[in-house]
Structure 1
């Protein structure tokens, strides 16, 4: 009861401090600094019941946004780009399945022929992304299934890593994003072991489990394929990164690797072991993650076991960073008991430094203590468009209100901008129009995206200095725009 009361006090406090509006135009003549004028301009755009969305789009597109650090490589490339690649590869589309196919059948079309068929092309766009998805009618898949199914369509052509890196770089520079930390792919290593799968579920305490994991690690270490796969993986990322000429004064990109959470324990553990090994030996691979629907049968059943895998591997590889998808759930997706521990275990067992989504927080056990732990140990990656589509959570239902009121560090991210057909500027527009945070808060989120990135200290400091200079330039330009816009509104 105490926790619920404290939670209510937090949210009420936010309502009175975070969303208060004032008459900004009257203060125009008192403003001298570029930053203050920029703040007045922003306040003018968000005030009232109908924020000026067009002006906010312009303002937040021009604003330096630091980094996008919850970003999936394959899910962030637009369908139209994948079709360009398929055309360049002379790949064909099956008109019945709308998947890329190598089979020579009568149902195959070239990409150009597909595009000339407006009805078929439109249908492909709705299967390869969330485009034109209506609000789940009887014949449609549920939103979460629609979202995750898209990867099965473009996965075949998504392995053009150099091309993808260049796409992201060009898009980021145009959008004033200086850093992307993308989940690029898994190492591709697996060590299936049915005996381990049986034994690992019977441990009585962590000491017994970690002893079993020591034995399994020794087996994996003795497998020549383990070394070959991790070396090939790190070499491949480095080669693609260098060939694409990714890093320069304007932009930088780094990579997370991951494994799927919906497989048997021996496959999950061995894939995670390879991911940690790759991240430990590569300067470009800066973190490890876990992906896949969190409400999957295996993901739910083995969730705590997976968190223990991370706990073990973090001790074995103390320099490797961890970000985890955790709490990407809401009421109705799973039984209520499965909403009570995901974020907690990600932070307090797995030792995650960043939490992706964290939407089930209001349902977690001892939520106030958990908020305190997150504030001290981690940062939350907020993905508004993704949470709205997959979970149906938005507006006043979103735990952003709790995290921001409690002072938990926050970063704003896109998740899968190609599937969701969004960009980082749009996520900031949603933030501004729904919650009306101050300009200083928005600016802090931009700096948080670098501060809490997994960049090494030297590169992080360099990027923060660059971001500071970018904001000075932006605020200088917005100050001039502010004089024109606000003087016009006052006069």
Structure 2
């Protein structure tokens, strides 16, 4: 299946599902595998093509893949141009220690960071990187099960989400390759609840705050906030 056909098929199904479930907002990021960064321009062109056909269902561009492969700082000039076009950018970053790469991207300030594991000095990062993250305001997509199974953190109690919480670094609890790691978002929140002794109000606030960092319009974000607040009104939190 050609990339264009694949994307069109996925987006067509998202469009169909969105019409059936209007309160469920689904979007797609066009992904660039850092191992094949020579396809970057091709994938950007696919983004523009799919954006023209499917509009807001195409939310942005993601760079991910094996963090030990390629120097993606070479893409920064092109990413800067995309930012000038107001294209949302998510970069998988710091899954392994890489001071130079992480520093350059933290200074670049993508719209979201995937993983962000090796930024705090206790997890292979440095004070320099940690200070850059804290001052950047960039939210981090946190994947608890993935980090544990992948051995990126020694234990759940040493997970970087604890540092994020303590020093008010914005984060979003996510799943990562849910088919591979056999997890869903409810399980991720349940793990956080059990391991970090979060109560119901804390879980609600973490999920509610994530809305701010969605690659969505302000109208869509407000719709989600209204859904959350109405749910909370009907289901008083009890701890």
Q: Return the TM-score normalized by structure 2.
A: 0.84
Structure 2 counterpart of 1:372: 134
Relative to structure 1, the CA distance from residue 392 to residue 237 in structure 2 (aligned partners, 3 Å threshold; closer, same or farther) is closer
Structure 2 counterpart of 1:391: 151
Q: What is the total number of aligned residue pairs between the two structures? A: 232
- 1:446 is matched with which residue: 200, 207, 230? 207
Structure 1 counterpart of 2:58: 285
- 1:322 is matched with which residue: 89, 95, 114? 89
Are 1:270 and 2:31 counterparts?
A: no
Confirm or deny: 8 A CA contact 1:258 1:275 kept in the other structure: no
Structure-2 separation of matches of 1:396 and 1:381 = 18
- 1:241 is matched with which residue: 14, 25, 35? 14
Superposed displacement of residue 275, structure 1: 4.7
1:181-330 to 2 correspondences below 5 Å: 188=3, 229=4, 236-246=9-19, 248-263=21-36, 267-278=38-49, 280-281=51-52, 282-296=55-69, 298=70, 302-315=71-84, 317-318=85-86, 320-329=87-96
Relative to structure 1, the CA distance from residue 364 to residue 474 in structure 2 (aligned partners, 3 Å threshold; closer, same or farther) is same
User: What SS does the corresponding residue of 1:360 show, helix, strand or coil?
Assistant: coil
User: What SS does the corresponding residue of 1:396 show, helix, strand or coil?
Assistant: helix
Confirm or deny: 8 A CA contact 1:414 1:422 kept in the other structure: yes
Structure-1 separation of matches of 2:77 and 2:62 = 14
Structure 2 counterpart of 1:409: 170
User: What SS does the corresponding residue of 1:381 show, helix, strand or coil?
Assistant: strand
Are 1:357 and 2:115 counterparts?
A: yes
User: What SS does the corresponding residue of 1:431 show, helix, strand or coil?
Assistant: helix
Superposed displacement of residue 463, structure 1: 1.4
Structure-1 separation of matches of 2:171 and 2:18 = 30
Relative to structure 1, the CA distance from residue 420 to residue 289 in structure 2 (aligned partners, 3 Å threshold; closer, same or farther) is same
Superposed displacement of residue 251, structure 1: 1.8
Query: What are structure 2's unaligned runs of at least 5 residues?
Result: none
Superposed displacement of residue 276, structure 1: 4.4
Relative to structure 1, the CA distance from residue 307 to residue 434 in structure 2 (aligned partners, 3 Å threshold; closer, same or farther) is farther
Relative to structure 1, the CA distance from residue 328 to residue 279 in structure 2 (aligned partners, 3 Å threshold; closer, same or farther) is farther
Relative to structure 1, the CA distance from residue 374 to residue 247 in structure 2 (aligned partners, 3 Å threshold; closer, same or farther) is farther
Relative to structure 1, the CA distance from residue 259 to residue 368 in structure 2 (aligned partners, 3 Å threshold; closer, same or farther) is closer
Query: What are structure 1's unaligned runs of at least 5 residues?
Result: 1-158, 160-186, 189-228, 330-337, 483-491
State which structure, 1 or 2, has the greater radius of gyration over its C-alpha atoms: 1
Superposed displacement of residue 278, structure 1: 4.1
Q: Deviations over 1:441-479 (max 9, x none)?
A: 32121112222101111111111101111122232xx65
Structure-1 separation of matches of 2:44 and 2:33 = 13
Relative to structure 1, the CA distance from residue 283 to residue 389 in structure 2 (aligned partners, 3 Å threshold; closer, same or farther) is same
Q: Deviations over 1:272-318 (max 9, x none)?
A: 4225424653221011101211112x2xxx22113333123222x22
Relative to structure 1, the CA distance from residue 374 to residue 440 in structure 2 (aligned partners, 3 Å threshold; closer, same or farther) is farther
Q: Return the TM-score normalized by structure 1.
A: 0.43
Relative to structure 1, the CA distance from residue 279 to residue 286 in structure 2 (aligned partners, 3 Å threshold; closer, same or farther) is farther
User: What SS does the corresponding residue of 1:472 show, helix, strand or coil?
Assistant: helix
Structure-2 separation of matches of 1:395 and 1:236 = 38
